[in-house]
């Protein structure tokens, strides 16, 4: 979950109503925001990835105003017309990154905290709805450094300019291979020969999307007027992003002015709101609340939406930046939030169904009971394990290994095809505990099939000086006979199986089908695990034996 | 005699009843017990006031280096007498032969014994025999001691001993402390023929043994399962490995969503499901994605096999197959996340998820089930906060007050499946879903603050928790 850091004094100011800090903190969770930590007036908030407007304190203040009843309904952002500011789109961008959109924000005040908040927003937009800048990306620029009209076009990788955080001109190639941001996001451009670029009328490079801006247009605390540009693979996605920025800059006190976009498939953004028809009966059906239309309207307005009654329906107006709202179900949620989750009273309707455990669960419970009865304590290991434990230490055949990709943990890289190695590892971690030690585990093991076969196995180990094959055979035999009522068990000696001692190991067959094996663990395997006592173990397949 | 005696104690008493005072070493011989067992037994008997121990010290006498020399070659004065038996000698001549064995001592003692005459002249002193030397008491004593070590009290001539002690390194005195064990009055009357045969010390320490048991986490899981059953839910089962189709696509997670990336999800290397769903299901889901998320949906992405990231993949598959009009079901089992393992995160943990479909399926009903569920667990201080899940709308999470931490912690989540999820799969009734991680609840139950403990299989913990 993405995180934003707020200052309560600043939030209080932005809300501009009489409200205590405590009330603000208490209300935050009811916007769907999780308080991660609080240190005095500093507060770290986790917000949902579907609400990029909450990536700044401006957006959160906007939401709080609604729930606290200070300002309700849509926050209107008027976009003033103009003819001065324009981006012309060159057809050459179509193959690489076909869309551009943008806006001009004027006469705002930018302090250090605002810069921090805007950077947090930019990062969130890039990572979330921008899909790591691949789908869309955004740039903020100091308007005064730019001469219009701009040109969104392409250039070669030899093109050079002074990028952000640099003092000298370097080529696009160098940016992609030598700078950190280039290395992190260069993949977005693939291996295309030409790359997208925004240049101004004096041919100065403004931005190399989606990688980096030029140094000259950097936004600082001296900046009053800004250009916002968004480039994208998808026109709607670009306008989604722009709408969030526009709303936030509007809330931050900027005057918003149109940026004309001209060129094939591109157009000047309108950022119009949408209307969704909402059927009142939904509130009762979904929430179990009998609210009259005016209650519903008031609840929606508290969520900074607009609504009016039209006959039996309610006409909801959704501002452009709330693209998370897809249909009536989302409207219902807004009603619940506006009404107040704390006002929803839980009700327990009697169940008319009888609950039941699955057949498998019942069987496995019975298995555990029997094995515990033989004095074995239950262990639990991960299905994801390491090659070291599963194959290397136990000398087992690893040709049918199933691996996961890019695991962050070295101990969890492959799926187990057997339970026994894990139990032996457990013994190795308990050599300081008193003996005898007897462990068992019931769990899923994996093998390659079409595409994967999952079976449930039972394995047990017994470790102490006098433990031996015959004792374990006697236990296993009793489990099968008295526990599972299986009479026709055949045990055949087996040689040269790496994990076990030669001559003290056998396969187990039921109705001529191999169901598992049993044996004394060989001394070199025990050495690998640094176990200094005798160990005997068994493993059998339960799937197909006591259930299908 | 109600006191129960240990075998060791019995043997010691028996031996002391036959011979009343013995050292521990003697007792070890007579009872054939080790010296350690004897020492322990004596200590027990002493505490029970059945035996007493007297410490005594004894001085042993043996010869030192010079004493042994005197035993073999005679005392220095005897050697001197041998040198002058053939006629008088000058001091210089005698000193040469006696060097190192105490010339001065030889002269002084021979003189004291009245054996020699010393004539002083200008050419030096001469020494000659005055009378024939007899055996001195000191010489007798040296012979008596010999190479042995004898108790001081056996020596009668104390004066000779005193003289020899004054001379350097002739006599070694060794003080040996020893213990003498004897029975108290009470013990001397113990009659073993009358005591209960086979009685043991019922108060003695015994080793701790441990009962075999099912895993504590399993117990917590079973408890939670029972509550679901009590609430009218029936269990369904499904695979841990799933196609991306059922883990993500069927749940309306767009194919370029960050949650689907390698860094959050375990993809199985080179594993794909040729036909993850029916053609109709694939067609409908694909259309829902393309229409709502506006991108080009790929079958190949949905074929990739993953370790399920939630049990919802099992639930949704069940619903799509059976399309029940009314049901309460749940699915419980392991789920996987590609995370760094820490005290609060595991790569593999258990999740439970319940589904209500049919009548009484409002958000308030769902909240009511939650409340009852927590009540069954003994948790009554709960509240609900809004939250976000990609496939439910509206979505809530339960906050539970943790008395120990003194704060609200997040437990189960809940919500109503989005129509974008249900419609394409032909599910027409509203579907309520609720659930979450089980380890979190189990941690509260066992007061653990490190979730890894559940999978360490530390016997000390398993045996005693």
Other CB atoms within 10 A of residue B437 CB: 19
State the Cα–Cα distance between residues B345 and B214, nearest whole angstrom.
23
Task: For domain A3-67, give the CATH number.
Answer: 3.30.56.10
Q: What percent of chain B has a predicted confidence (pLDDT) above 90?
A: 45
Q: What's the rounded mean pLDDT across residues A353-362?
A: 93
**Same domain as B265, residue B121:** no
Nearest CA to CA, how far is B261 from chain A (Å)?
10
pLDDT at residue B143 tops 90: no
Q: What is the pLDDT of residues A208-265, one digit of tens each?
A: 999 999 999 999 999 999 999 999 999 999 999 999 999 999 999 999 999 999 998 9
pLDDT at residue B1 tops 80: no
**Same domain as B349, residue B227:** yes
Q: What percent of chain A has a predicted confidence (pLDDT) above 70?
A: 100
Helix A57-67 crosses helix A112-127 at what angle (to 10 degrees)? 90
- Nearest-CA neighbor of A420 among A522, A288, A278, A533? A522
Of the residues B92, B125, B150, which one is the last residue of a structural domain?
A: B150
Q: What's the rounded mean pLDDT across residues B355-376?
A: 91
pLDDT at residue B457 tops 60: yes
The yes/no answer to whether this complex scores an ipTM above 0.85 is yes
| pTM, rounded to two decimals | 0.77
Helix B35-47 crosses helix B24-31 at what angle (to 10 degrees)? 110
| B18 within domain boundaries | no
pLDDT band at B295 (very low <50, low <70, confident <90, very high): confident
pLDDT at residue B99 tops 70: no
Of the residues B92, B119, B150, which one is the last residue of a structural domain?
A: B150
Nearest CA in chain B to A284: B362
**Which CATH number is correct for A274-339, 3.90.79.10, 3.40.605.10, 3.30.56.10, 3.20.20.480?**
3.30.56.10
Q: Average model confidence (pLDDT) for chain B?
A: 88
Q: A369 — phi, psi (to 5°)?
A: -60, -45
Taking the CA atoms of chain B, what radius of gyration do you get in angstroms? 50
Nearest CA to CA, how far is A386 from chain B (Å)?
13
- Residue A412 touches chain B, beta carbons under 8 Å: yes
Burial class (CB in 10 A: 0-12, 13-18, 19+), A11: buried
**Same domain as B230, residue B134:** no
Nearest to B338 among A354, A402, A407 (CB): A407
Q: What's the rounded mean pLDDT across residues B278-295?
A: 93
pLDDT at residue A324 tops 50: yes
**Locate tokens 């089930």: which residue?**
B369
**Same domain as B333, residue B437:** yes
3-class SS of residue B331: strand
Q: What is the pLDDT of residues B442-454, one digit of tens each?
A: 998 898 989 999 9
pLDDT at residue B195 tops 60: no
- Nearest-CA neighbor of A155 among A190, A201, A87, A207? A207
For chain A, the structural domain boundaries read 3-67, 79-262, 274-339, 359-541
Q: What are the structure tokens assigned to B251, written together?
A: 């749940």
CATH number at residue B115: 1.10.10.10
| B280 within domain boundaries | yes
Q: Is the peptide bond before A149 cis (omega within 30 degrees of 0)?
A: yes
A341/B262 Cβ within 8 A: no
Q: What percent of chain A has a predicted confidence (pLDDT) above 90?
A: 85
Task: Tell me the CA distances in angstroms from A24 to A41, A46, A68, A304, B379, one per residue in order.
Answer: 11, 15, 9, 17, 28
Q: What is the pLDDT of residues A447-458, one digit of tens each?
A: 999 889 999 999
Segment among A364-368, A377-381, B117-121, B247-251 with least mean pLDDT: B117-121
Q: What is the pLDDT of residues A50-79, one digit of tens each?
A: 899 999 999 999 999 999 999 999 998 889
Chain B residues touching A382 at Cβ < 8 A: 346-348, 455
Which architecture, in CATH terms, is A79-262? 3-Layer(bba) Sandwich (3.50)
pLDDT of residue B3: 65
State the Cα–Cα distance between residues A476 and A339, nearest whole angstrom.
62
| B105 within domain boundaries | yes
CA angle, corner A467, sides to A462 and A469, nearest 5? 90
- Would you tell me which residues 400-429 of chain B have a C-beta closer than 8 angstroms to some C-beta of chain A? 410, 416, 418-420
Query: What domain range includes position B130?
Result: 63-150
B341/A287 Cβ within 8 A: no
Q: What's the rounded mean pLDDT across residues B11-37?
A: 89
- Nearest-CA neighbor of A62 among A71, A3, A254, A114? A71
Task: Tell me the CA distances in angstroms from A58 to A226, A247, B291, one per residue in order.
Answer: 17, 9, 31
Chain A residues touching B346 at Cβ < 8 A: 382
Q: How many CB pairs under 8 A join A and B?
A: 255
**Same domain as B259, residue B119:** no
Q: What's the rounded mean pLDDT across residues A342-370?
A: 90
pLDDT of residue B82: 84
| Greatest Cα-to-Cα distance within chain B, rounded to the nearest angstrom | 146
- Would you tell me which residues 263-302 of chain B have a C-beta closer than 8 angstroms to some C-beta of chain A? 263, 266-269, 271-274, 292, 294-295
- Residue A336 touches chain B, beta carbons under 8 Å: yes
Total number of domains constituting chain B: 2
Question: Which among A405, A423, A460 is the top mutation candidate for probing chain B, defined by the most B β-carbons within 10 Å of its own β-carbon?
Answer: A405
Chain A residues touching B327 at Cβ < 8 A: 353
Q: What is the pLDDT of residues A425-437, one digit of tens each?
A: 999 999 999 999 9
Segment among A22-26, A104-108, B178-182, B457-461 with least mean pLDDT: B178-182
pLDDT band at A295 (very low <50, low <70, confident <90, very high): very high
Nearest CA to CA, how far is B199 from chain A (Å)?
29
Nearest to B234 among A34, A127, A356 (CB): A356
pLDDT at residue B359 tops 80: no
pLDDT at residue B391 tops 60: yes
Segment among A452-461, B114-123, B222-231, B328-337 with least mean pLDDT: B114-123
**Same domain as B240, residue B344:** yes
| B442 within domain boundaries | yes
Q: What's the rounded mean pLDDT across residues B373-397?
A: 93
A237/B256 Cβ within 8 A: no
State the Cα–Cα distance between residues A318 and B304, nearest whole angstrom.
37
| B160 within domain boundaries | no
- Residue B447 touches chain A, beta carbons under 8 Å: no
Helix A57-67 crosses helix A235-251 at what angle (to 10 degrees)? 70
Chain A residues touching B231 at Cβ < 8 A: 351, 355
State the Cα–Cα distance between residues A22 and A138, nearest whole angstrom.
35
Strand partners, A443: A457
State the Cα–Cα distance between residues A471 and A138, nearest whole angstrom.
71
Segment among A337-341, A542-546, B226-230 with least mean pLDDT: A542-546
pLDDT of residue A521: 96
- Would you tell me which residues 430-459 of chain A have a C-beta closer than 8 angstroms to some C-beta of chain B? 430, 433-434, 437-439, 444, 446, 450-452, 454
Fold (CATH) for A359-541: BirA Bifunctional Protein; domain 2 (3.30.930)
**Same domain as B327, residue B230:** yes
pLDDT of residue A496: 67
Domain A274-339 and domain A359-541 have a common topology: no
| B45 within domain boundaries | no
B454/A356 Cβ within 8 A: no
Question: Which among A341, A362, A438, A463 is the top mutation candidate for probing chain B, defined by the most B β-carbons within 10 Å of its own β-carbon?
Answer: A341
Nearest CA in chain B to A384: B348
Chain B residues touching A287 at Cβ < 8 A: 362-364, 394
pLDDT of residue B375: 94
B328/A353 Cβ within 8 A: yes
| B183 within domain boundaries | no
**Same domain as B448, residue B316:** yes
């Amino acid at each position: 979950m993405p995180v934003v850091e707020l200052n309560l004094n600043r939030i209080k100011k932005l809300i501009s109503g009489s409200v205590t800090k405590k009330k603000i903190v208490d209300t935050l969770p009811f916007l769907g925001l999780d308080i991660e930590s609080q240190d005095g007036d500093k507060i770290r908030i986790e917000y949902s990835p579907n609400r990029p407007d909450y990536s700044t304190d401006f957006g959160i203040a906007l939401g709080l105003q609604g729930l606290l009843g200070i300002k309700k309904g849509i926050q209107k952002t008027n976009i003033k017309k103009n003819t001065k500011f324009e981006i012309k789109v060159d057809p050459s961008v179509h193959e690489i990154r076909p869309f551009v959109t943008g806006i001009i924000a004027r006469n705002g005040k930018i302090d250090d905290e605002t810069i921090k908040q805007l950077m947090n927003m930019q990062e969130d937009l890039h990572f979330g709805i921008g899909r790591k800048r691949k789908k869309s990306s955004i740039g903020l620029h100091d308007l005064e450094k730019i001469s219009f009209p701009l040109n969104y076009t392409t250039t070669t990788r030899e093109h050079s300019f002074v990028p952000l955080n640099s003092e000298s001109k370097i080529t696009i190639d160098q940016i992609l291979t030598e700078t950190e941001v280039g290395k992190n996001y260069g993949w977005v451009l693939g291996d295309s020969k030409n790359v997208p670029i925004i240049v101004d009328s004096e041919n100065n490079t403004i931005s190399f999307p989606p990688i980096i801006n030029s140094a000259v247009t950097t936004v600082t605390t001296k900046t009053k007027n800004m250009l916002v540009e968004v480039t994208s693979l998808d026109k709607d996605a670009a306008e989604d992003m722009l709408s969030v920025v526009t709303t936030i800059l509007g809330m931050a006190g900027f005057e918003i002015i149109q940026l004309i976009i001209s060129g094939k498939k591109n157009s000047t953004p309108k950022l119009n709101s949408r209307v969704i028809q909402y059927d009142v009966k939904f509130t009762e059906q979904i929430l179990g609340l009998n609210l009259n239309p005016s209650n519903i309207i008031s609840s929606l307005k508290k969520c900074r939406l607009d609504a009016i009654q039209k006959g039996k329906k309610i006409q909801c107006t959704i501002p452009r930046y709330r693209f998370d709202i897809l249909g009536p179900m989302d409207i219902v949620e807004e009603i619940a939030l506006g009404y107040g989750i704390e006002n929803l009273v839980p009700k327990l309707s009697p169940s008319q169904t009888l609950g039941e455990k699955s057949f498998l669960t019942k069987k496995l419970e019975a298995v555990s009971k029997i094995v515990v009865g033989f004095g074995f304590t239950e262990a639990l290991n991960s299905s994801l394990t390491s090659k070291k434990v599963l194959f290397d230490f136990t000398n087992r055949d690893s040709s049918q290994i199933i691996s996961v990709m890019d695991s962050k943990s070295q101990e969890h890289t492959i799926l187990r095809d057997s339970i026994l190695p894990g139990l032996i590892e457990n013994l190795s971690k308990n050599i300081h505990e008193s003996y005898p030690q007897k462990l068992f585990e019931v769990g899923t093991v994996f093998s390659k099939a079409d595409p994967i076969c999952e079976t449930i196995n039972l394995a047990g180990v017994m470790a102490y000086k006098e433990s031996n094959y015959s004792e374990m055979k006697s236990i296993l035999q009793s489990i099968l006979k008295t526990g599972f009522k299986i009479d026709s068990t055949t045990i055949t000696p087996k040689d040269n199986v790496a994990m076990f001692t030669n001559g003290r190991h056998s396969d187990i067959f039921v109705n001529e089908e191999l169901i598992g094996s049993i044996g004394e663990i060989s001394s070199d395997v025990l050495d690998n695990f640094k176990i200094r006592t005798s160990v005997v173990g068994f493993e059998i397949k339960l799937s197909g034996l006591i259930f299908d | 005699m109600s006191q129960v005696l240990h075998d060791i104690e019995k043997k010691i008493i028996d031996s002391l009843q036959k011979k009343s005072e013995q050292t521990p070493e003697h007792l070890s011989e007579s009872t054939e017990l080790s010296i350690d067992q004897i020492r322990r037994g004596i200590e027990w008997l002493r505490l029970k006031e059945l035996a007493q121990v007297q410490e005594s010290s004894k001085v042993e006498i043996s010869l030192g280096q010079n004493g042994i020399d005197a035993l073999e070659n005679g005392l220095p004065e005897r050697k001197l007498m041998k040198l002058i038996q053939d006629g008088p000698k000058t001091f210089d001549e005698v000193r040469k032969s006696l060097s190192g064995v105490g010339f001065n001592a030889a002269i002084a003692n021979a003189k004291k014994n009245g054996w020699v005459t010393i004539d002083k002249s200008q050419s030096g002193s001469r020494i000659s025999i005055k009378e024939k030397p007899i055996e001195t008491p000191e010489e007798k004593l040296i012979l008596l001691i010999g190479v042995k070590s004898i108790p001081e009290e056996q020596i009668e001539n104390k004066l000779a001993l005193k003289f020899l002690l004054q001379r350097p390194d002739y006599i070694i005195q060794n003080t040996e402390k020893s213990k003498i064990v004897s029975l108290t009055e009470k013990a001397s009357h113990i009659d073993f023929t009358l005591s209960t045969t086979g009685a043991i010390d019922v108060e003695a320490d015994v080793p701790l043994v441990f009962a075999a048991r099912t895993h504590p986490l399993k117990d917590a899981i079973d408890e939670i399962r029972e509550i679901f059953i009590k609430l009218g839910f029936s269990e369904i089962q499904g695979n841990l490995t799933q196609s991306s189709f059922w883990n993500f696509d069927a749940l309306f997670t767009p194919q370029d969503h960050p949650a689907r990336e390698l860094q959050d999800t375990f993809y199985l290397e080179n594993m794909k499901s040729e036909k993850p769903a029916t053609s109709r299901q694939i067609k409908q889901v694909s259309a829902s994605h393309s229409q709502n998320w506006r991108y080009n949906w790929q079958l190949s992405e949905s074929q990739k096999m993953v370790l399920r990231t939630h049990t919802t993949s099992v639930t949704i598959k069940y619903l799509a197959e059976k399309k029940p009009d009314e049901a309460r079901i749940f699915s419980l089992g392991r789920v996987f996340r590609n995370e760094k393992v820490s005290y609060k995160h595991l790569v593999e943990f258990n999740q439970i998820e319940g589904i209500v479909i049919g009548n009484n399926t409002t958000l308030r009903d769902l909240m009511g089930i939650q409340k009852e569920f927590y009540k069954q667990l003994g948790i009554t201080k709960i509240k609900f906060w809004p939250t976000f899940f990609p496939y439910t709308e509206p979505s809530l999470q339960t906050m539970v007050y943790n008395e120990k931490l003194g704060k609200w912690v997040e437990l189960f989540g809940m919500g109503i499946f989005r129509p974008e999820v249900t419609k394409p799969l032909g599910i027409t009734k509203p579907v309520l879903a609720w659930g979450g991680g089980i380890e979190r609840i189990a941690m509260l139950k066992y007061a653990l603050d490190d979730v890894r403990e559940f999978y360490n299989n530390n016997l000390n913990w398993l045996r005693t928790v």
